[in-house]
Amino acid sequence: DNLQHSGNTARKAFCSFIAAQDSELADWVNTNVTFPNSMVDRITPAVTPADIERLNRRNGVEDAAPVYCEDFIQWVIEDNFIAGRPDWEKVGVEFTTDVSAYENMKLSLLNASHSMLAYPAFLAGYRKVDDAVHDKRFARYLQQFMDTDITPYVPAPGHTDLTQYKQTLLERFGNRSVSDQLSRLCSDGASKIPVYIMPNLIQMIRDKADLRRVSFFTAAYRHYLKYQQDDKGNIYEVNDPWLTETDWIQIREENPLAFLALSPFKSTPLQRDEGFVTNYLQLVSALKEKGVEEVLETILQ
């Protein structure tokens, strides 16, 4: 999930292993086997003890590890099958000559929006995605992010209606039956940000676009990591294993600019962009003094 060019990656790993063992077999695989790239999309929350009890009570079984998910599903596969394939389109699979546009759309809109929501909503005291999205301020914040910040950089693939896709995302996020955990979205930020946020942020900086929302996200991410206490006074633990010891030293620095040198941001020198830095420093101070909800109101103006 969320591994770009998954077929290419699988081919490289598989063929490298075979070539090290049997060169003749490796030649045969290179000629007779294809590795189609694919993209899958279905929100599947982490399962809590309360979920296990609820699902077992509803289904009349004793399952120690049930899994539940939303009803939405999208599976897009590159039509690159050297020996033919099943008619999976009959059961809803989409086939395309190039899956990259679908990957970009999902990572830039769905996954990036998840991250953009996660830290400020968690700091505001929310613990469930649907509760946060039913707060009209957070819904508007995500809508502005998708429409203003991301849509200019995400061409719609195939016959996709991008306006409808974005509306569907907000409906999925607000699904009360799924009720995904914000803590899940907050975890592993250091591995997500380089993929979900940075590619489009680099283009936004280049184009001198409105950086308020992404600066707000960055300030919220710092606040989440540094203080480990939300605006309601609740203490929490951070789960971000990709952060290095050097990263944590920079997080603990009192100078907020040190945070911009974190490894997740290494693809571009954020501290050199005056517009980004100005927004970011103002928001760092505002979050500390006023809290997320009051600051969010200013972002939405």
Per-residue model confidence as pLDDT tens digits over 129-154? 999 999 999 999 999 999 999 999 99
Distance CA(1)–CA(10), nearest Å, equals 13
Q: What does the pLDDT average to over 145-165?
A: 95
Dihedral of CA atoms 276, 228, 195, 16 in degrees, nearest 10, equals 140
- CB neighbour list of residue 65: distance below 8 Å, 6 or more residues apart: 47, 52
Distance CA(246)–CA(242), nearest Å, equals 11
Phi, then psi, of 282 in degrees rounded to 5: -60, -40
Sort 123 into a burial class: Cβ within 10 Å, 0-12 / 13-18 / 19+.
Answer: buried
Q: What does the pLDDT average to over 289-294?
A: 98
Using DSSP's 3-state secondary structure scheme, residue 197 falls into coil
Exposure string (b/e) for 131-148, b if CB count within 10 Å is 16 or more? bbbeeebbbebbeebbee
pLDDT at 263: 98
Strand locations in the chain, DSSP E?
A: 38-41, 74-78, 94-96
pTM, two decimal places: 0.93
Give the pLDDT confidence of 193-219 residue by residue, as tens digits.
999 999 999 999 999 999 999 999 999
pLDDT at 204: 98
Distance CA(277)–CA(275), nearest Å, equals 6
> Is the model's pLDDT at 1 over the cut of 70?
no
Distance CA(243)–CA(273), nearest Å, equals 23
pLDDT at 301: 85
pLDDT bin (cut points 50, 70, 90) of residue 289 is very high
**% residues pLDDT > 70 (the chain):** 100
**% residues pLDDT > 90 (the chain):** 97
Give the pLDDT confidence of 218-229 residue by residue, as tens digits.
999 999 999 999
pLDDT bin (cut points 50, 70, 90) of residue 159 is confident
CATH node for 100-299: 1.10.1040.10
pLDDT bin (cut points 50, 70, 90) of residue 271 is very high
Output the six-digit token pair for 226: 């540094």
pLDDT bin (cut points 50, 70, 90) of residue 158 is confident
Phi, then psi, of 206 in degrees rounded to 5: -60, -40
> Is the model's pLDDT at 71 over the cut of 90?
yes
pLDDT at 220: 99
Q: Are 164 and 90 in contact (CB under 8 A)?
A: no
Q: What does the pLDDT average to over 45-73?
A: 94
pLDDT at 2: 73
Give the pLDDT confidence of 110-128 residue by residue, as tens digits.
999 999 999 999 999 999 9
Give the pLDDT confidence of 15-34 residue by residue, as tens digits.
999 999 999 999 999 999 99
